[in-house]
Amino acid sequence: MWSLAVPNAQPVISCRNVWKLYGPKPQAYFAALTAGTSFEQMRGDGYISAVRDVSLDIAKGEMLVVMGLSGSGKSTLVRCLSRLIDSTAGTILIDGDDIAKMDARALIDLRRRKMGMVFQSFGLLPHRSVLDNVAFPLEMRGQDRHDRRARALEVIELVGLKGREDYFPRELSGGQQQRVGIARSLAIEPDIWFLDEPFSALDPLIRREMQDEFLRLKQILGKTSVFITHDFDEALRLADRIAIMKDGAIEQCDTPDQIVLNPATPYVAKFTEEIEKSRVIRAGTLAQAGTAEGQALSASATLHTLARQIAQDSRDLIPVAGPDGRVMGTLNRAAALDILFGAAQ
């Protein structure tokens, strides 16, 4: 489940040195920009670098979670990737095609066939019922009435809004509206799925359900997704990789374990400080070469779930087995206990 993307395959989304500047004359300002101009200096000049020199590759089926404080540029980055806004500089390739070079028709085609997006602020059409909102992308594609109704009902059921097809957005709660947005983005079965804080308006129970549903979908459908959230637990549950943004730049983009174990910058360290490491780190991450006898721990389980087992085990080195059941190394029990209960003083 936490397997990394297959290397060497062509990434679905690939961006190189993407910038997005807000200000009076972003292009001219960017052309005159010298390397190393800081965020504050730019702000002094009247420009906000909402996205700053971002380079990323996202492989097929991968789930990238983007995190960062409010205003760090998460939504702007996703808008650049979907070309809802034009980036100031850099190239963005989707399946190898440069989206900045696409004409209106190609872009519309791309969105009709491949992309889905859930918006932070829902963006539902107020004059359409739930059903018609969800069917809207299909309608744009010119699908016939009957088919789009059937498909829309399917996804409405999927997000748990069955029975409310005829409601209008203003008759729904925030969480329900959010789910309509999710259903709409799923209607066309997109290959690439952008989700801007899709679960932020949901209550914890439904949120969890949606996350499970989401993981299930991801496994069956193999969608490539970019997911924005403020919630670290959510990120840990869902992410293949996590990108942490600050002032428009990506501070670190890595697997959850690496982000927690080896923060690249002091900012990331501070960002992850509050997190209980045992919930993130898996036995496999800590495993070192070697062998030991007896019952093995599962490499993909977090230390947190293994806590009782580790605490009750008397061996210094506990074997760790990979998904195929073969022992892949040993876990140093003392080190694991240190992570679980804090280092001995």
Partner 1 sequence: MTSHRTGALALLALALILALTRNALPAGLMRPPEWLVWPFADWLNAAFAFCQNDLGLMAVTRFAAAGIAALLDVTGNLFYGKARWPNLGPLPWTTFAITAGALAYRVAGWRLALFAAGTFVWIALMGQWEWAMQTLSVILIAAPVTFVTGLGLGIVAWRFALFERVLNPFLNIAQSLPQFAYMIPVVVFVGVGPKAGAITTIVFALPPMIRMTVLGLKKVPENVVESGLMSGANRWQMLTRVRLPTARNDVLVGVNQVIMQCLAMVVLTSFIGMPGLGQKLLQLMQSLKIGLSFEIGVTIVLIAVTLDRISRAWAEMAPKHFAKGTPWHQRHRVLVIWAILMGVAFALAHLSPWFSQIERSDAFSVAKPIDAAVDILIRLIDPVSQALRWFLITWVLIPFRDGLLWLPFTTVLALVMALGYAAGGARSALVCLGFFGMIAMTGWWDRAMITVYTVIVSVVLAALMGFPLGIWGARAQGRAARVLLVCDTLQTFPSFIYLIPVIMLFGVNDVAVVGAVILFAAVPLVRYTIEGLRGVAPELIEAASMSGADRSQLLWKVQLPMALPTILVGVNQSVMFSLFMVIIAAFIGTQDLGQEMQRALSTTDVGKGLVLGLAVAFMGLMVDHLVTTWSAARTQALGLEPPKRAA
Amino acid at 158: L
Candidates 71-79, 105-113, 258-266, 284-292: pick the segment binding ligand ATP (CB under 6 A): 71-79
Does residue 75 touch Mg ion according to CB under 5 A? yes
Does residue 170 touch partner 1 according to CB under 8 A? yes
115 interface partner picked from partner 1, ligand ATP, Mg ion, none, CB below 5 to 8 A per type: partner 1
Tokens read off for 325: 């059941």
Does residue 229 touch Mg ion according to CB under 5 A? no
Report the residue from 151, 184, 218, 282 that binds partner 1 according to the rule CB under 8 A: 184
Residue positions counted in the chain: 345
Report the residue from 19, 29, 47, 119 that binds partner 1 according to the rule CB under 8 A: 119
Which alpha helices (DSSP H) does the chain contain, by range?
Answer: 26-31, 39-44, 74-81, 104-113, 130-141, 145-158, 174-187, 204-221, 232-238, 256-261, 266-272, 283-286, 303-312, 333-341
Candidates 69-77, 278-286, 312-320, 331-339: pick the segment binding ligand ATP (CB under 6 A): 69-77
Nearest to 296 by CA among 269, 275, 315: 315
104 interface partner picked from Mg ion, partner 1, ligand ATP, none, CB below 5 to 8 A per type: partner 1
Residue with smaller CB distance to Mg ion, 91 or 120? 120
SS (H, E, C) 244-293: EEECCEEEEEECHHHHHHCCCCHHHHHHHCCCCHHHCCEHHHHCECCCCC
82 interface partner picked from Mg ion, ligand ATP, partner 1, none, CB below 5 to 8 A per type: partner 1
The three-class DSSP label of residue 104 is helix
Does residue 73 touch ligand ATP according to CB under 6 A? yes
Query: Which residues, other chains included, contact 305 with Cβ-Cβ below 8 Å and sequence gap of 6+?
Result: none
Q: Which of residues 108-147 bind ligand ATP (CB under 6 A)?
A: 120
Does residue 106 touch partner 1 according to CB under 8 A? no
Report the residue from 52, 74, 184, 223 that binds ligand ATP according to the rule CB under 6 A: 74
Q: Checking DSSP bridges between strand 63-68 and strand 224-228, what pairing results, if any?
A: parallel
Does residue 19 touch partner 1 according to CB under 8 A? no
Residue with smaller CB distance to ligand ATP, 74 or 148? 74
* C-alpha separations of 262 from 158, 236, 253, 269, 311 in Å: 38, 16, 11, 8, 25
Q: Please state the closest distance from residue 333 (CB atom) to partner 1, in A.
A: 51
Does residue 87 touch ligand ATP according to CB under 6 A? no
State the first-to-last Cα distance of the chain, in angstroms, to the nearest integer. Answer: 36
Nearest to 100 by CA among 108, 109, 90, 110: 90
Does residue 50 touch ligand ATP according to CB under 6 A? yes
Give residues in contact with Mg ion (CB under 5 A): 75, 120
User: Which residues contact ligand ATP by CB under 6 A?
Assistant: 22, 48, 50, 68, 70-76, 120
